[in-house]
């Protein structure tokens, strides 16, 4: 009975979270924007005008995505303008099929290519395609120019509604994305904790970490835009500053969580022989993860924030166990565990800082993050008009996608017209909704769309068979539309089910033979999905292995730049420059992009998965390289370190040189320098034994400064040796991998 109650409780909690989500909120907003003009139009006897306003609002809504409201506003305005233009053009496309097809393809291509300007532009492009395709099914008694203007007015109506919605709850997006970031960071930290156990499946956990880091980096990019670009005319509010400071702590927590010791064999041997260390550290790490989850649930209610007592107890237990090791012969293991413990102490400080920021009502002006420096973390999108025409090359993924989409739309419309489908435009709608530049996403969307349509058709048939009431159809149609929109990003299969229900219920009010409608809806979906899938295979396909080389190059270059900034800071000390943090952000971003590219590659046909094992090894090595950089970065930022020696500078130069040669190998298939890559460099062979030969067999008798110096020497040089080893392995792989 308790299990059933727990199941109901968890599902009820998920339902409440879904209803409170910004996805559901947007769906309600779209529902109001679509239905209100129609209802007013019916009441006043101007149904045609109401319908036009309703369609304009619906077609402009895809541009209303997460981000600064200024960007949303511009996106909706451009979408409304594009909707007017394509609807006006469509009003005059009364040609024979042989002439209509090339015009249809040309317009589709022109609209689809707008996606070269980035993610928001791709949604504007989708808006234009949606309006263009659906215009084929709509007939209006209004003049063409009147209808087009009313569609634009519908877009303005949706913008007004969005503005009012934003005014009512301007913090909704910030709070939800922060909540998601807490949860993802908690899961990342917990997974890192599990990796400490030698008995765990490390390959599986490493794969989970790559996915989590990719999700976190994507989430961070969105939060940056929301927090940094949402500036009021009078300056940043106390609320925005506090959230930006919290966000900065979460980024630091990710870096610290990635940081790790590198001598895995010795660590595993120690943890196997002394499992109490695994348990103590895991208890501590899991407690911090649990506290992040509680912070996510607490929201703005500071009374629900977790206390520090449990975490303090965990720290006491870990400190006691590590202190015992200091008196033994495991001197190197002691240094590793002590460094690991201090990483966790820094992690807890960030966690306490987050709780303090959430609990306090005010913060000192000295804590504010400078807005000009903050804006440097936002990569500006290139909106140069010439970019559109510079993309006219089959080397461009977006150009190939635009041509592929245009040709597929032409084929779909030709088939729908020649074989007398009920609504040829439905095939086009399925094509533009399903087809994406990548093979894996298109395949998954095609599969989910077909399954969702079949399920939705079956449910709709049962409902229509049992109920013959147009008012019930209208209510269920609107409810289905709301759920369809709210689920489109979370569960596309469920969204497709509700889309089918919505279409069937709305048409059931107008068309008596609903069975025919369901039959053709399923047929249109099968044809559209089949054409989309076939086009991805045979029409100028974009295989990930072609782009993989560039993804690896970008990630290696970003890591090299981050290493260079770490070296500069280690030499010069002082305040951390903004360029340092930007380099760190770019390294995390490009590593995440590389992981995502590899995941897309795994979804492609086996015949297109070139050099899969070597690419995977490069991805993992690159991630391990970043983890080692994070260890160095975390240590030198939080502790007073000694002067950077000539050996240190020479070592980092060797590593940077290796990374440069990795990029050169990938670009030119030739590597300058020796063909034998040794990861046992004499620089490290002489340095590490020097450290170990110091009188540290009895650490208990050494003073605090000596132990601190030993910790620094051990961590820094072991990380440098590990970085050099990774760079050598990457160089070997880069010379042998064939990605052309």
CA 646 distance to own-chain centroid: 40
Q: pLDDT of 44-54, one tens digit each? A: 888 889 989 99
Assess whether pLDDT exceeds 90 at residue 336: no
What CATH number is attached to the domain comprising 642?
A: 1.20.58
Q: pLDDT of 550-578, one tens digit each? A: 888 999 999 999 999 988 888 877 777 88
Closest CA to 439 of 465, 404, 396, 388: 404
Residue 564 lies in a domain: yes
639 and 706: one domain? Answer: yes
Q: Which range has the worst mean pLDDT, 126-130, 396-400, 541-545, 675-679?
A: 675-679
Q: Look at residues 317, 345, 375 and tell me which one is the last residue of a structural domain.
A: 375
What is the C-alpha to C-alpha distance for residues 554 and 561, in angstroms, rounded to an integer?
11
Q: Please report, for residues 205, 374, 588, the alpha-carbon distance to residue 582 in angstroms, rounded to integers and kept in the order given.
A: 28, 10, 10
356 and 400: one domain? Answer: no
Average pLDDT, stretch 427-436? 87
Assess whether pLDDT exceeds 90 at residue 701: no
519 and 607: one domain? Answer: no
Confidence (pLDDT) at 234: 38
The residue among 512 and 197 whose pLDDT is bigger is: 197
Assess whether pLDDT exceeds 60 at residue 636: yes
404 and 338: one domain? Answer: no
| Total of domains in the chain | 4
Residue 709 lies in a domain: yes
Confidence (pLDDT) at 293: 92
Residue 419, helix vs strand vs coil? coil
Q: How confident is the model at residue 411 (pLDDT cuts 50, 70, 90)?
A: very high
Residue 389 lies in a domain: no
Confidence (pLDDT) at 53: 93
| Cβ neighbourhood burial of 269 (10 Å; 0-12, 13-18, 19+) | middle
Q: pLDDT of 579-592, one tens digit each? A: 888 888 899 889 88
Question: Contact 189/287 with Cβ under 8 angstroms?
Answer: no
Residue 390 lies in a domain: no
365 and 456: one domain? Answer: no
Confidence (pLDDT) at 733: 86
176 and 164: one domain? Answer: no
Confidence (pLDDT) at 721: 83
DSSP string, 329-352: S-HHHHHHHHHHHHHHHHHHHHHH
Confidence (pLDDT) at 227: 81
Confidence (pLDDT) at 677: 45
Closest CA to 711 of 346, 343, 335, 344: 335
Confidence (pLDDT) at 693: 46
What is the C-alpha to C-alpha distance for residues 456 and 450, in angstroms, rounded to an integer?
10
Bridge partners of 232?
235
What is the C-alpha to C-alpha distance for residues 112 and 100, in angstroms, rounded to an integer?
18
128 and 66: one domain? Answer: yes
Closest CA to 483 of 474, 473, 496: 496
Residue 383 lies in a domain: no
Average pLDDT, stretch 338-355? 87
Residues of the chain above pLDDT 70, percent: 84
Q: Look at residues 504, 524, 542 and tell me which one is the last residue of a structural domain.
A: 542
What is the C-alpha to C-alpha distance for residues 705 and 688, in angstroms, rounded to an integer?
20
Assess whether pLDDT exceeds 70 at residue 452: yes
Residue 6 lies in a domain: no
Q: Look at residues 130, 146, 169 and tell me which one is the last residue of a structural domain.
A: 169
Confidence (pLDDT) at 72: 85
Residue 654, helix vs strand vs coil? helix
Q: Which range has the worst mean pLDDT, 142-156, 249-263, 678-692?
A: 678-692
Assess whether pLDDT exceeds 60 at residue 25: yes
Assess whether pLDDT exceeds 80 at residue 292: yes
Confidence (pLDDT) at 2: 59
Residue 4 lies in a domain: no
Average pLDDT, stretch 202-220? 86
Domain that holds residue 465: 396-542
Question: Which of the given ranges, 376-390, 606-620, 685-699, has the highest pLDDT on average?
Answer: 606-620
587 and 731: one domain? Answer: yes
**Sequence-ordered list of residues with C-beta below 8 angstroms from that of 665, at least 6 positions apart, any chain:** 671, 731, 734, 735
Residue 458, helix vs strand vs coil? helix
Tokens of 733: 């792989």
| Cβ neighbourhood burial of 120 (10 Å; 0-12, 13-18, 19+) | buried
574 and 471: one domain? Answer: no
Q: How confident is the model at residue 17 (pLDDT cuts 50, 70, 90)?
A: confident
Average pLDDT, stretch 298-318? 85
639 and 685: one domain? Answer: yes
591 and 731: one domain? Answer: yes
Average pLDDT, stretch 279-287? 90
Tokens of 29: 């907003």
434 and 490: one domain? Answer: yes
What is the C-alpha to C-alpha distance for residues 499 and 504, in angstroms, rounded to an integer?
9
Confidence (pLDDT) at 335: 74
Confidence (pLDDT) at 77: 92
Q: How confident is the model at residue 92 (pLDDT cuts 50, 70, 90)?
A: confident
301-310 contact pairs (CB < 8 A, 24+) = 302/358, 302/359, 305/355, 305/358, 305/359, 306/355, 308/352, 308/355
Residue 385 lies in a domain: no
Confidence (pLDDT) at 1: 47
Residue 40 φ then ψ, to 5°: -65, -40
Confidence (pLDDT) at 80: 92
Closest CA to 50 of 33, 37, 35: 37
The pTM of this model reads 0.84
Assess whether pLDDT exceeds 80 at residue 116: yes
């Amino acid at each position: 009975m308790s299990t059933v109650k727990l199941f109901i409780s968890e599902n009820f909690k998920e339902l409440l979270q879904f209803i409170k989500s910004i996805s559901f909120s947007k769906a309600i907003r779209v529902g109001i924007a679509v239905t209100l003009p129609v209802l007013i139009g019916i009441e006043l006897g101007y149904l045609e005008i109401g319908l036009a306003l309703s369609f304009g609002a619906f077609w402009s809504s895809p541009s209303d995505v997460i981000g600064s409201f200024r960007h949303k506003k511009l996106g909706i305005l451009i979408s409304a303008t594009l909707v007017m233009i394509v609807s006006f053009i469509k009003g005059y496309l009364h040609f024979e099929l042989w002439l209509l097809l090339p015009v249809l393809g040309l317009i589709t291509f022109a609209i689809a290519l707008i996606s070269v300007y980035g993610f928001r532009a791709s949604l504007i492009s989708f808006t234009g395609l949606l309006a263009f395709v659906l215009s084929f099914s709509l007939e209006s008694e209004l003049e063409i120019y009147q209808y087009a203007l009313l569609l634009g007015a519908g877009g303005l109506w949706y913008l007004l509604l969005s503005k009012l919605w934003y005014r009512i709850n301007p913090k909704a997006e910030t709070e939800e994305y922060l909540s998601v970031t807490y949860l993802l960071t908690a899961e990342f930290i917990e997974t890192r904790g599990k990796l400490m156990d030698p008995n765990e499946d490390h390959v599986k956990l490493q794969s989970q970490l790559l996915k989590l880091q990719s999700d976190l980096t994507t989430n961070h990019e969105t939060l940056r835009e929301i927090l940094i670009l949402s500036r009021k005319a009078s300056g940043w509010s106390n609320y925005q500053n506090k959230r930006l400071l919290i966000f900065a702590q979460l980024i630091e927590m990710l870096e610290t969580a990635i940081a790790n010791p590198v001598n895995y064999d010795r660590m595993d041997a120690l943890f196997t022989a002394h499992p109490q260390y695994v348990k103590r550290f895991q208890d501590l790490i899991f407690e911090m993860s649990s506290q992040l989850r509680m912070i996510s649930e607490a929201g703005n209610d500071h009374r629900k924030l977790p206390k520090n007592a449990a975490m303090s107890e965990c720290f006491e237990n870990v400190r006691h166990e590590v202190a015992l090791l200091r008196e033994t012969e495991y001197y190197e293991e002691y240094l590793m565990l002590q460094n690991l413990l201090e990483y966790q102490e820094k992690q807890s400080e960030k966690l306490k800082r987050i709780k303090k920021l959430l609990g306090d009502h005010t913060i000192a002006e000295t804590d504010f993050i400078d807005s000009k420096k903050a804006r440097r973390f936002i990569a500006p999108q290139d909106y140069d008009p010439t970019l559109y025409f510079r993309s006219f090359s089959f080397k461009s993924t977006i150009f190939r996608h635009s041509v592929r989409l245009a040709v597929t739309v032409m084929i779909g419309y030709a088939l729908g017209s020649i074989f007398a489908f009920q609504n040829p435009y439905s095939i086009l709608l399925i094509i533009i909704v399903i087809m994406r530049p990548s093979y894996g996403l298109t395949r998954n969307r095609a599969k989910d769309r077909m399954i969702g349509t079949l399920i939705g058709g079956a449910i709709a048939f049962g409902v229509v068979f049992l109920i013959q009431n147009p008012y019930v159809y209208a209510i269920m149609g609107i409810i289905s539309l709301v759920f369809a929109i709210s689920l489109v990003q979370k569960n596309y299969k469920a969204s497709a089910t509700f889309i089918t229900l919505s279409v069937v219920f709305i048409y059931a009010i107008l068309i008596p033979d609903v069975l025919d409608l369901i039959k053709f809806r399923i047929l249109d979906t099968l044809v559209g999905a089949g054409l989309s899938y076939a086009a991805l295979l045979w029409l100028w396909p974009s295989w990930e292995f072609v782009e993989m080389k560039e993804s690896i190059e970008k990630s290696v270059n970003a890591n090299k730049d981050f290493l260079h900034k770490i070296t500069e800071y280690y030499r010069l000390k002082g305040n951390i420059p903004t360029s340092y943090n930007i380099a760190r952000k770019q390294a995390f971003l490009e590593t995440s992009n590389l992981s995502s590219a590899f995941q897309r590659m795994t979804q492609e046909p086996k015949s297109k998965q070139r050099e899969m094992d070597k690419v995977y090894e490069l991805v993992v090595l690159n991630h391990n390289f970043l983890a080692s950089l994070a260890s160095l970065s975390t240590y030198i930022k939080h502790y007073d370190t000694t002067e950077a020696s000539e050996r240190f500078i020479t070592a980092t130069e060797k590593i940077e040189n290796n990374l440069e040669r990795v990029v050169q190998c990938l670009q030119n298939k030739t590597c300058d320098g020796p063909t034998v890559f040794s990861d046992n460099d004499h620089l490290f062979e002489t340095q590490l034994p020097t450290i170990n030969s110091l009188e540290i067999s009895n650490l208990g008798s050494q003073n605090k400064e000596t132990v601190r110096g030993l910790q620094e020497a051990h961590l820094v040089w072991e990380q440098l040796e590990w970085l050099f080893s990774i760079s050598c392995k990457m160089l070997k792989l880069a010379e042998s991998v064939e990605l052309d």
